[in-house]
Amino acid sequence: MIVFSGSVLTRTGSLLSAAGRRLVRTGQRGKARRQLKGLPRPLKLHVGCGQVRFDGWVNVDVGASPAVDVIADLTEAVPLENESCALIYNEHFLEHMTVDRGVAFLKECHRLLQTGGVLRVAMPSLTETVRQYYDDEWRDQAWIRTYSCEWIQTRAELLNIAFRNWGHEWLYDEEELERRLREAGFDQTMAATWGESEHAELRDRETRPESRLVFEAVKS
């Protein structure tokens, strides 16, 4: 999971001004652009990788970790040229953006992909969240145990936690995700199964059991 903040802290812990934040982001984009420039094309881009590293891919996140190759905030313009990527993957990323920023990100993915390139998106499912709300065994959900949320006492609390916690901004079901992918320019979209794909390099990529909504989109 990637968590976004509107603030940037200096090493001394003081809060930067809006102008300071812009300078930090500009510096990060410049460094990311230089790092990405020399890599052989087409790229395989793993966006919002967190602690998960894909060998042979360019692993990108907003913060440093042993898994990260390039530090960049890809919720803004991606510092890459058109048609520079063959594959783009993200898991538990899109739902952390407002829907407008999410569509803007998907448009960037469409711009970056070469013809025939594939975007794969994995995230929690709104349909599954609603199903859990009506489930007689609603307390017995794997994610409640995984994230130590046993303190949840009511169905309403469960639903609100799923919608609002962890920096979630907009949850999707199949209809909504397909709609937004098409708004971004993709006319070949398909629901996929966790860990499965027609494309060998996109198989077994999901690491989160709660990624119940998985889609692939191909650039025509």
**pLDDT band at residue 148 using 50, 70 and 90 as cut-offs:** very high
pLDDT at 27: 54
* Cα Dmax for the chain: 55
**Does residue 22 carry a pLDDT above 50?**
no
Amino acid at 71: I
Mean pLDDT of the chain: 88
> Which listed CATH number (3.30.420.40, 1.20.120.1730, 3.40.50.970, 3.40.50.150) goes with 18-124+168-218?
3.40.50.150
pLDDT at 208 over 50: yes
Its pTM stands at 0.85
E strands along 148-209, which residues? 188-192
Looking at this protein, which amino acid is placed at residue 160? N
Taking a C-beta distance cutoff of 8 angstroms, is the pair 63, 5 a contact?
no
Checking if the pLDDT of 188 tops 80, the result is: yes
- Distance CA(60)–CA(32), nearest Å, equals 9
